Each structure stands twice: as structure tokens, then as C-alpha cells.
Homo-oligomer: A and B are copies of this chain.
């Protein structure tokens, strides 16, 4: 069983597209909590409110790190998608962790981000634009079969 962590953008359904393309493969996908509100509020919801936004975010980010660290450590492959909106520094941060942990890294982004992501791409084993390419890669890696 291959474990694949799907990091980055949470505002499109790309994770479902990757999974759909992997039907029948011996793959398990993990990833961050994609409920944006829950992800932002988890710290204060469980451990109590904070007057300062910094500590509010801090408590939440640390809870999310429990999940991220575990799933990154267990992953064989880490896919990081950079979307069109927001700063997405957490995506690049996850990519950096994955690279330093020696994980096989696949980066997904549009051509317009190519120059800005050159350091991340340089650490990757594959750079793609679309979810079905991730699925094709995983199928090739596991079964040796290329897309028709």
C-alpha cells in the first residue's frame, strides 16, 4: 500500500479528482483538514479563547501540525498543489518539510507560477499541472502502466 499525502490548496476538489483517477490502485490518501473554518478555529474551540489573534492562530496551527507531521512522516509520496489564490505559504512550508524528510515530492501548479516556484520544483521528482497527471504517475509507479 502506497501512502500519498495531498498538501496545499483546499478550495477546489482536486483531491477527489486524484482519488478518482486512482481507482483500483493500492493507495491511501491523507491530507489536511479541509474544513477551512474548523481548521482556523480548532485551537480556541478546544483549548479556550484568546484575546490576541496571533495566539488564536497559534493554538490552531499547532493542533493542525499534529495531523500534518504524522501524515507527512508516514507518506511515501507528498503531492503539493499551489492554486490561484492566497499566499499559500503553508503549501511551500509542507513541501520544504517533505523535501528535508526525503519524501518523493510531486508539485502541481499552473505555468504562471513556474518562476516563483523554481526552488520547490527543483526538489521535486515530478512537476505537473493537473490532478489526472498525479493519478497517472501513481498508476505508473505502482503498476508500470502508462496512460492509453
Q: Please report A residues at the B interface, Cβ cutoff 8 Å.
A: 2, 33-35, 38-39, 41-42, 45-47, 50-55, 57-70, 76-77, 82, 86-102, 104, 113-123, 125-128, 133, 136-137, 140-142, 144-147
Contact = CB atoms under 8 A, between A and B. Distances in A.
Contact of A61 (B57, B99, B121): B121
Contacts of A70: 2, 76-77, 104, 141
B99 A38 contact: no
A24 to B, nearest CB: 18
A70 to B, nearest CB: 5
A121 B137 CA distance: 20
A38 B140 contact: yes
